[in-house]
Amino acid sequence: MSRVLVVEDEAHLAQGLRFNLEAEGYSAEIAGDGESATDRLLEKKEDFDVVVLDIMLPGKDGFSVVSELRAARNYVPVLMLTARSRPEDVLKGFASGADDYLPKPFDLSILLARLQGLLRRSQWMRTAHSAAPSNPPIQAESAPSDPRNVGDFGTFSFAGKTIDFGALELRTPDNLIHLTLMESELLRHLVRNEGRIVSRKQILEEVWGLHEDTDTRAIDNFIVRLRRYIEDNPVQPRHLLTVRGVGYRFLAKPEEK
Ligand code: CA
């Protein structure tokens, strides 16, 4: 039985969620504020399979909760509940390390579907880690621009680094970086379009399902973070290039200077 922690201060909403989750066969518990959520997850190290996290909480808000979890290397999947019509909340949530989001008010069936998606993914991650790798790494040398070569749970290697899209990991010669779902999805989109320009509009609409008029500085922040992961010198990127006024381009094998 999957354990869900519902972090929500509106008691009637939290209890309604718990009731419905239990009716669907989950075990659900409520934390009424951010403090008790981090206390249970980090101090008491309670084991939950997924967290439903409201942003607007008394005291410590949802952004701080997820940031603290990730800073403490707790990678429990987090579904964030955001206020409708505030795309900046969505992007800030992803930047803090949330895996998915749902605007409030939400439809229960959509919430359940999103939770299923997150649980399925962590199941895959566990399977992928315990079983022998079935997907051979894709080398940049072999047809890098063929999108079919980057399977949903495949890996992609370039310049001594390997992205494992399913396990949400980026391995570099001296580091293992845990990616959020949204970081992994953005990297996958860039890799799939290797050598081609990907516009900001495309990133918003195709990768994250957001409306194109979202503040694009949020994307820039994501790119800055990805560069810290994949570039030897993030200030002078060679793999993840800005195409001024248009968008970004990923190069697995940049031209030697
Ligand atoms: Ca609230």
Q: Compute the distance from residue 8 Cα to the ligand 1 centre, in Å.
A: 6
> 228: domain range?
135-256
CATH number at residue 36: 3.40.50.2300
Q: Compute the distance from residue 56 Cα to the ligand 1 centre, in Å.
A: 4
Q: Compute the distance from residue 241 Cα to the ligand 1 centre, in Å.
A: 39
Q: Give the residue among 122, 152, 157, 126 at the shortest CA–CA distance from 139.
A: 157
Q: Compute the distance from residue 55 Cα to the ligand 1 centre, in Å.
A: 6
> Same structural domain for residues 72 and 182?
no
> Same structural domain for residues 192 and 211?
yes
CATH number at residue 183: 1.10.10.10
Q: Compute the distance from residue 131 Cα to the ligand 1 centre, in Å.
A: 40
Q: How far apart are CA 250 and CA 198, in angstroms?
A: 9
Q: Compute the distance from residue 60 Cα to the ligand 1 centre, in Å.
A: 11
> Same structural domain for residues 191 and 216?
yes
Q: How far apart are CA 176 and CA 136, in angstroms?
A: 19
> Same structural domain for residues 116 and 148?
no
* Amino acid occupying residue 113: A
> Same structural domain for residues 55 and 163?
no
- Pick from 129, 151, 181: which residue ends a domain? 129
- Say which DSSP state 233 is in: S
Q: Compute the distance from residue 218 Cα to the ligand 1 centre, in Å.
A: 23
The whole-number pLDDT of residue 125 equals 64
pTM of the model: 0.64
- Pick from 101, 129, 157: which residue ends a domain? 129
> Same structural domain for residues 195 and 225?
yes
* Amino acid occupying residue 122: S
Q: Compute the distance from residue 61 Cα to the ligand 1 centre, in Å.
A: 9
The whole-number pLDDT of residue 137 equals 47
Cis, bond preceding 105 (omega within 30 deg of 0) = yes
The bridge status of strand 155-158 relative to strand 161-164 is antiparallel
Q: Compute the distance from residue 229 Cα to the ligand 1 centre, in Å.
A: 33
Q: What is the mean pLDDT of each run of 10 residues along the chain (257 residues)?
A: 95 90 92 97 95 95 95 92 77 87 88 89 66 46 42 78 89 87 87 93 80 69 88 93 93 79
Q: Give the residue among 252, 255, 254, 236 at the shortest CA–CA distance from 194.
A: 252
Q: Compute the distance from residue 31 Cα to the ligand 1 centre, in Å.
A: 11
Place of tokens 């570099």: 172
Q: How far apart are CA 211 and CA 188, in angstroms?
A: 20
> Same structural domain for residues 70 and 140?
no
> Same structural domain for residues 125 and 140?
no
Q: Give the residue among 158, 151, 155, 148 at the shortest CA–CA distance from 229.
A: 158
> Same structural domain for residues 8 and 74?
yes
The token pair at 181 is 């779902």
Q: Compute the distance from residue 48 Cα to the ligand 1 centre, in Å.
A: 21
3-state secondary structure 102-169: EEECCCHHHHHHHHHHHHHHHHHHHHHHHCCCCCCCEECCCCCCCHHHCCCCCEEEECCEEEECCCCE
- Pick from 109, 129, 149: which residue ends a domain? 129
| Residue 72 near residue 44 (C-beta atoms within 8 A) | no
Q: How far apart are CA 69 and CA 87, in angstroms?
A: 22
Q: Compute the distance from residue 103 Cα to the ligand 1 centre, in Å.
A: 12
For the chain, the residue count is 257
> Same structural domain for residues 147 and 225?
yes
Q: Compute the distance from residue 191 Cα to the ligand 1 centre, in Å.
A: 37
Q: Compute the distance from residue 149 Cα to the ligand 1 centre, in Å.
A: 43
The helix-helix angle for 217-230 and 181-192 (nearest 10°) equals 80
Domain count, the chain: 2
Q: Compute the distance from residue 180 Cα to the ligand 1 centre, in Å.
A: 23
> Same structural domain for residues 203 and 156?
yes
> Same structural domain for residues 116 and 177?
no
